[in-house]
């Protein structure tokens, strides 16, 4: 494998890039608190996972808005736990997990596409690395890269070894990372059916289905994640289809070309590839199945999360591009020349990317310290970022809305936007402290509220 000079070059670059990222690790996170839920689950892994799930379920019940599941699938928090064990739980070191997954993702993308063209594989790998939207995933705390790595390993193994048992097992294990692995199971199943070998692997289906059924009907079903309210986010009308095409287009276009013409042009190419793949469905391979399966799923699923949901289908997409656009000029694929041009135009170093410091900025750290010192472990706080506050302080934080205030939490923390809402705080609460955009209110007299 290492005789491949293109692969050597890619590995050396990724090693240098990862070394730079690790040397310059920081605790910068955006204030979106999905990452806080993953870290909170990792902290209680092997300890009080079930108890924390019950607490999260109770905290979510105080609000009419469920800002996220009570539990994510356990696979990614389990990997974060490894980082915690070697880093004493410092927030910046959790990023190492996704830095490594990003490297593996790029390498698997190269190995999969290299079966068609090594030069194209190197160019696509460069496009991924120099796409700031995709590169940003390497320093975020999300499970999408880990899930994509699992699936791409299954695809690579399937093509390289022509063995189907391992990819099927990987697909079942993937459910513990993201529930979307059900799509990957369907893709593998249809592939095995087309190969007329489905019956050979029936025991894998039986044992995993039995094991997961036992877990699902037990009190530990939360290890698959809890997505009860997410069913309402589906539509059978593919309302997200255009959004997904535009998202993929803009992920690879340099910022100065992100305008209506170029975005529409790339989107039309993607649409053409989709139609051609559907048209040749009788001869469809694993890449066509994976591309159509996940594109269809995320076109019906209305939770728009940018490119992170779509990274799983990118290697297959470029292979479909290669198989469809076979025009050559000067003995080089026209597709390769086109992507090389996009790469050159997009050649701004990913090292320039800086994640915003919102979650742990100076004001927020002061707020967390105040909460830890002044709020008892059994008291409740209402805030717009409850998962972040709970992760940082281990206090009972509930989402701030009208319903949650009816339960009269001891503390209410408002940001500047919340102050415009019609919360009746004048009689019940008094202003205690201000930390940047946050104002901390405390209940005046609990006995008064009971009258």
For 357-392, give the DSSP string. Answer: --TTSHHHHHHHHHHHHHS-TT-EEEES-HHHHHHH
Model confidence pLDDT, tens digit, residues 252-264? 988 766 667 888 9
Do 285 and 421 belong to one domain?
no
The confidence score (pLDDT) of residue 451 equals: 44
Do 332 and 255 belong to one domain?
yes
Q: What is d(CA 334, CA 120) in angstroms, rounded to the nearest whole number?
A: 11
* Count of Cβ atoms closer than 10 Å to residue 196 Cβ: 8
Do 159 and 237 belong to one domain?
yes
Do 247 and 372 belong to one domain?
no
Contact in structure between 224 and 216 (CB atoms under 8 Å) = yes
Q: In what order do the strands lie in the sheet with 438-443?
A: 396-399, 380-383, 411-414, 438-443, 429-435
Do 204 and 116 belong to one domain?
yes
Do 380 and 441 belong to one domain?
yes
Outline where DSSP puts E strands in 38-164.
none
Residue 90 main-chain phi, psi, to 5 deg: -70, 135
Q: List CB contacts of 252: < 8 A, sequence separation 6 or more.
A: 127, 131, 266, 342, 346
The confidence score (pLDDT) of residue 422 equals: 46
Contact in structure between 120 and 335 (CB atoms under 8 Å) = yes
Helices and strands (H, E) in the chain, number of each type: 20, 7
Out of 329, 352, 375, pick the residue that ends a domain. Answer: 352
Do 319 and 442 belong to one domain?
no
Do 303 and 440 belong to one domain?
no
**What separation in angstroms does the CA of 185 have from each of 220, 234, 295, 311?**
22, 20, 15, 18
Largest CA distance in the chain: 86
130 belongs to a structural domain: yes
Out of 293, 324, 352, pick the residue that ends a domain. Answer: 352
The confidence score (pLDDT) of residue 165 equals: 95
Q: List CB contacts of 305: < 8 A, sequence separation 6 or more.
A: none
Residue 88, classified by CB atoms within 10 Å of its CB into exposed (0-12), middle (13-18) or buried (19+), is exposed
200 belongs to a structural domain: yes
110 belongs to a structural domain: yes
The confidence score (pLDDT) of residue 199 equals: 95
The confidence score (pLDDT) of residue 30 equals: 84
Residue 301 main-chain phi, psi, to 5 deg: -90, 120
The confidence score (pLDDT) of residue 449 equals: 46
Do 10 and 102 belong to one domain?
yes
40 belongs to a structural domain: no
Instruction: Give me the helices (H) in 138-180, please.
Output: 144-161, 165-173
223 belongs to a structural domain: yes
409 belongs to a structural domain: yes
CA dihedral angle for residue 188, residue 304, residue 224, residue 60, rounded to 10 degrees: -170
Out of 320, 352, 384, pick the residue that ends a domain. Answer: 352
Instruction: Give me the residue label for tokens 């490894």.
Output: 82
**H-run or E-run covering 414:** strand 411-414
282 belongs to a structural domain: yes
Model confidence pLDDT, tens digit, residues 45-63? 888 889 999 999 999 999 8
Low-confidence ranges of the chain (pLDDT < 70): 1-3, 228-231, 256-259, 329-330, 348-351, 416-427, 445-451
The confidence score (pLDDT) of residue 348 equals: 66
The confidence score (pLDDT) of residue 412 equals: 81
Q: What is d(CA 63, CA 298) in angstroms, rounded to the nearest whole number?
A: 28
Classify 131 in phi/psi space as left (phi over 0), alpha (psi -120 to 50) or beta: beta
**H-run or E-run covering 102:** helix 95-113
For the chain, the domain total comes to: 2
Model confidence pLDDT, tens digit, residues 107-152? 999 999 999 999 999 999 999 999 989 999 999 999 999 999 999 9
**What separation in angstroms does the CA of 447 have from each of 38, 428, 443, 451?**
38, 11, 10, 7
55 belongs to a structural domain: no
Do 347 and 366 belong to one domain?
no
The confidence score (pLDDT) of residue 118 equals: 92
Do 342 and 413 belong to one domain?
no
The confidence score (pLDDT) of residue 446 equals: 52
Q: Which residues form the domain of 401?
A: 362-450
Do 275 and 370 belong to one domain?
no
Q: List CB contacts of 58: < 8 A, sequence separation 6 or more.
A: none
């Amino acid at each position: 494998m290492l005789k491949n000079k293109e692969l050597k070059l890619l590995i050396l670059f990724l090693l240098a890039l990862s070394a730079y990222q690790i040397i310059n690790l920081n605790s910068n996170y955006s204030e979106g608190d999905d990452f806080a839920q993953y870290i909170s689950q990792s902290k209680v892994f092997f300890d009080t996972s079930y108890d924390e799930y019950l607490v999260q379920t109770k905290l979510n019940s105080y609000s009419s808005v469920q800002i996220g599941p009570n539990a994510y699938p356990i696979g990614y928090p389990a990997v974060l736990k490894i980082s915690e064990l070697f880093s004493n739980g410092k927030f910046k070191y959790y990023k190492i997990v996704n830095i490594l997954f990003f490297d593996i993702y790029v390498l698997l993308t190269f190995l999969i596409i290299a079966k068609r063209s090594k030069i194209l594989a190197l160019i696509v790998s460069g496009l991924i690395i120099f796409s700031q939207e995709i590169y940003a995933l390497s320093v975020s705390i999300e499970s999408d890269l880990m899930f994509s790595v699992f699936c791409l390993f299954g695809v690579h193994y399937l093509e390289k070894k022509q063995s189907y048992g391992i990819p099927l097992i990987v697909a079942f294990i993937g459910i513990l990372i993201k529930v979307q692995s059900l799509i990957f199971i369907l893709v593998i199943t249809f592939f095995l059916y087309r190969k007329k070998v489905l019956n050979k692997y029936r025991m894998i289906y039986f044992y995993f289905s039995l094991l997961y059924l036992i877990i699902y009907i037990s009190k530990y079903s939360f290890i698959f994640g809890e997505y009860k309210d997410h069913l309402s986010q589906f539509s059978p009308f593919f309302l997200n289809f255009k959004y997904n095409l535009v998202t993929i287009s803009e992920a690879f276009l340099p910022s100065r070309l992100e305008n209506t013409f170029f975005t529409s042009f790339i989107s039309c190419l993607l649409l053409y590839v989709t139609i051609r793949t559907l048209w040749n469905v009788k001869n469809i391979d694993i890449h066509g199945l994976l591309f159509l399966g996940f594109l269809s799923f995320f076109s019906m699923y209305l939770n728009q999360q940018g490119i992170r949901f779509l990274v799983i289908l990118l290697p297959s997409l470029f292979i479909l591009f290669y198989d469809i656009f076979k025009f050559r000029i000067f003995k080089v694929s026209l597709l390769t020349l086109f992507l090389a041009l996009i790469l050159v135009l997009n050649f701004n170093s990913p090292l320039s990317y800086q994640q915003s410091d919102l979650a742990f900025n100076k004001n927020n750290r002061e707020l967390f310290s105040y909460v830890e010192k002044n709020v008892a472990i059994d008291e409740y706080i209402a805030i717009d970022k409850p998962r972040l506050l709970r992760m940082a302080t281990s206090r009972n934080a509930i989402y701030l809305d009208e319903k949650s205030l009816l339960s009269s939490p001891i503390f209410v923390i408002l940001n500047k936007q919340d102050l415009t809402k019609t919360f009746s705080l004048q009689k019940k609460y008094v202003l205690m402290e201000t930390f940047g955009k946050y104002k901390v209110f405390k209940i005046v007299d609990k006995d008064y509220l009971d009258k």
